[in-house]
């Protein structure tokens, strides 16, 4: 089966054509330069850029693959920025209609964890996934492509969002996450210890807003160096993730652990999780940021189970996992 995947949930326009387990073509157009001047993603500017890029990207993929026609068009329908989602959904549905093929909707957070099965064919259900990005920090359990459940969520900011916001305070260009990751790995001096939050109620949820504030104060009020703040912030953020994952494993039983999403490219995060857990499957770095491969692959398996996109289906900025 040949599937075209289209992803426009935030600030990457991405498209991929796959045939079963083979990637025929893969394109990603980043909007980092566009949003750098704002210090973050501007939804209206993002959607306009998607509109400018989508047709050219599809034309390039057609040229690269000698015009191979997809059997299905898989489209990110949730979650994300509504204007951005609408661009991909409108283009994808129009293309599917023009080609006379069905379309299938994909939740891109679910896809971040599901694409690990393409990278690791031996990975069997059930498994647990940490999806950590600029928009989400969640733990999800997978029993099939259409049987997923949300186990833990963030109660405030996502980890990637906190890295970008603290980085902006310290004068680091957007996106700050990769720079903070590098500084944290290389810095060997003293660093501030930020508090790991605990909740009174029984929960596995995350909270990063407190350490965001503490990191800002350490830099602005106490004069701590950016390198030391970066190390302290990464230590605290990753320690919280480790604690929550161990709580989940102790209470719900062992499952192999997948780690995906944009922040999953972090070398610091990968090092710490590899030290704490066995059977960790890190999504390849080229598939950590939003991409068309994960949409095409997840969409292919959803279509095989009979899912298609209805004519009245709307984009959903919230996401499938939050409607359970």
**Residue-level pLDDT at 261:** 98
Task: Give the count of domains, the chain.
Answer: 2
136 and 204 inside one domain: yes
Please give the share of the chain, as a percent, with pLDDT higher than 70. 99
For 93, other C-beta atoms within 10 Å of its C-beta total 18
130 and 260 inside one domain: yes
Whole-number Å distance between alpha carbons of 309 and 280: 33
49 and 178 inside one domain: no
Q: What is the pLDDT of residues 50-78, one digit of tens each?
A: 899 999 999 999 999 999 999 999 999 99
Mean per-residue pLDDT, 202-210: 95
184 and 255 inside one domain: yes
- Looking up residue 251, the CATH number of its domain turns out to be 3.30.420.40
Burial class (CB in 10 A: 0-12, 13-18, 19+), 147: exposed
Q: Within a domain: residue 229?
A: yes
Which residues constitute the domain of residue 178?
A: 125-282
Q: Within a domain: residue 53?
A: yes
Q: What is the pLDDT of residues 140-183, one digit of tens each?
A: 999 999 999 999 999 999 999 999 999 999 999 989 999 999 99
Average pLDDT over the chain reads: 96
Taking alpha carbons only, the member of 191, 174, 288 closest to residue 234 is: 191
Mean per-residue pLDDT, 270-279: 97
189 and 131 inside one domain: yes
Taking alpha carbons only, the member of 163, 186, 192 closest to residue 263 is: 163
257 and 298 inside one domain: no
71 and 12 inside one domain: yes
Distances 14 to 24, 76, 95, 149, 313 between C-alpha atoms, Å:
14, 10, 15, 26, 21
Q: Within a domain: residue 90?
A: yes
Q: What's the start-to-end Cα distance of the chain, in Å?
A: 30
The tokens for 258 are: 């997948």
Q: What is the pLDDT of residues 31-50, one digit of tens each?
A: 777 767 667 777 888 889 98
Q: Within a domain: residue 120?
A: no
């Amino acid at each position: 089966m040949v599937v075209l995947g289209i992803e426009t949930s935030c600030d990457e326009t991405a498209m991929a054509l796959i045939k079963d387990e083979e990637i025929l073509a893969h394109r990603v157009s980043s909007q980092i330069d566009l949003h750098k001047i704002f210090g973050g993603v501007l939804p209206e500017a993002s959607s306009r850029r998607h509109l400018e890029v989508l047709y050219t990207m599809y034309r390039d993929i057609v040229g690269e693959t000698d015009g191979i026609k997809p059997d299905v068009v898989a489209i990110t329908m949730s979650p994300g920025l509504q204007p951005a989602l609408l661009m991909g959904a409108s283009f994808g549905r129009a293309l599917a209609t023009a080609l006379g093929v069905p379309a299938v909707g994909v939740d891109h957070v679910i896809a971040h964890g599901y694409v690990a099965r393409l990278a690791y064919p031996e990975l069997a259900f059930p498994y647990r996934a940490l999806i950590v990005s600029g928009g989400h920090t969640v733990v999800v359990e997978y029993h099939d492509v259409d049987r997923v459940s949300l186990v833990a969520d963030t109660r405030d900011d996502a980890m990637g969002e906190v890295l970008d916001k603290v980085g902006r305070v310290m004068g680091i260009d957007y996106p700050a996450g990769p720079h903070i990751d590098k500084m944290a790995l290389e810095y060997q001096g003293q660093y501030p210890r930020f508090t790991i939050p605990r909740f009174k109620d029984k929960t596995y949820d995350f909270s990063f807003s407190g350490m965001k504030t503490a990191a800002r104060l350490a830099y602005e009020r106490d004069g701590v160096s950016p390198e030391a703040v970066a190390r302290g912030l990464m230590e605290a953020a990753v320690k919280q993730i480790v604690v929550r994952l161990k709580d989940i494993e102790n209470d719900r039983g062992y499952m192999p652990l997948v780690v995906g999403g944009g922040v999953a490219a972090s070398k610091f995060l990968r090092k710490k999780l590899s030290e704490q857990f066995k059977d960790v499957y890190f999504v390849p770095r080229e598939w950590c940021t939003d991409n068309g491969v994960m949409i095409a692959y997840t969409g292919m398996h959803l279509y095989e189970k009979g899912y298609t996109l209805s004519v009245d289906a709307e984009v959903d900025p919230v996401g499938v996992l939050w409607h359970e």
